[in-house]
């Protein structure tokens, strides 16, 4: 049987989380950390829409540190960032890879920044095809289409020729913060929040 003391940490955990959530919301800051999934996309897009409704003229900061995840979930965040009226600052930290790089590119280049130790990863989509031969063939075609789509997005947002991007994403391509600036994924490297206004 639990004592009264055993239940106190659980009772205080929820108000603390609510407090942090409220503070983050009021500061117009969202976090995308970890694997991108449908639930992450639903949570982020819901918050983006709410913040946009609250003050469509004020910027929203999104901190991204993610290895990627479900491509279509990244697509959902990417499209909502462009759908809303509020300007969005994408701030890379830790590492930004795969589908996370795709959603990172939703912001215009001048609003894409990163912290000094951020690493970026671009590559072609992958999949674990299984089942009947015809289903495997369909999945393979869809991966090829996704590869083309991602390559065109990277080319458009970085200014790189499409053939260069296709070659670059053939295998994992890692970029440091400085290399990401040179490649066009990021406009500049910042160290402090005050530099976002610069």
Q: Is 37 assigned a catalytic role?
A: no
DSSP annotation string for 135-183: HHHHHHHHHHHHHHHHHHHHHHHH---HHHHHHHTSS-EEE-HHHHHHH
Q: Is 27 assigned a catalytic role?
A: no
| SS3 call for 40 | helix
Q: Is residue 153 within 8 Å of residue 147, measured between CB atoms?
A: no
Residue from 50, 77, 54, 68 nearest 120 by CA: 68
| Marked catalytic residue, from 66, 78, 102, 123 | 123
Distance of alpha carbon 40 from the chain centroid: 10
Residue from 43, 25, 27, 47 nearest 35 by CA: 43
Residue with tokens 């260069």: 164
| Marked catalytic residue, from 65, 78, 98, 102 | 98
> Residue 130 is inside which H or E element, if any?
none
| Residues catalogued as catalytic | 98, 123
């Amino acid at each position: 049987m639990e004592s009264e003391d055993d239940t106190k940490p659980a009772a205080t955990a929820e108000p603390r989380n609510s407090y942090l959530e409220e503070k983050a919301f009021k500061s117009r800051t969202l976090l995308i950390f970890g694997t991108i999934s449908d639930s992450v996309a639903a949570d982020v897009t819901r918050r983006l829409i709410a913040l946009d409704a609250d003050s469509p003229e004020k910027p929203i900061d999104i901190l991204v540190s993610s290895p990627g995840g479900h491509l279509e979930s990244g697509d959902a965040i990417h499209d909502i960032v462009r759908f809303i009226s509020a300007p969005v600052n994408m701030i890379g930290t830790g590492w930004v890879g795969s589908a996370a790089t795709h959603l990172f590119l939703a912001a215009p280049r001048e609003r894409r920044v990163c912290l000094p130790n951020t690493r970026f990863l671009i590559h072609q989509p992958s999949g674990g095809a299984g089942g009947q031969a015809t289903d495997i063939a369909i999945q393979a075609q869809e991966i090829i289409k996704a590869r083309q789509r991602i390559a065109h997005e990277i080319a458009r947002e970085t200014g790189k020729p499409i053939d260069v991007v296709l070659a670059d994403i053939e295998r994992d391509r890692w970029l440091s913060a400085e290399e990401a600036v040179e490649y066009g994924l990021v406009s500049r490297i910042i160290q402090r929040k005050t530099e976002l206004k610069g």
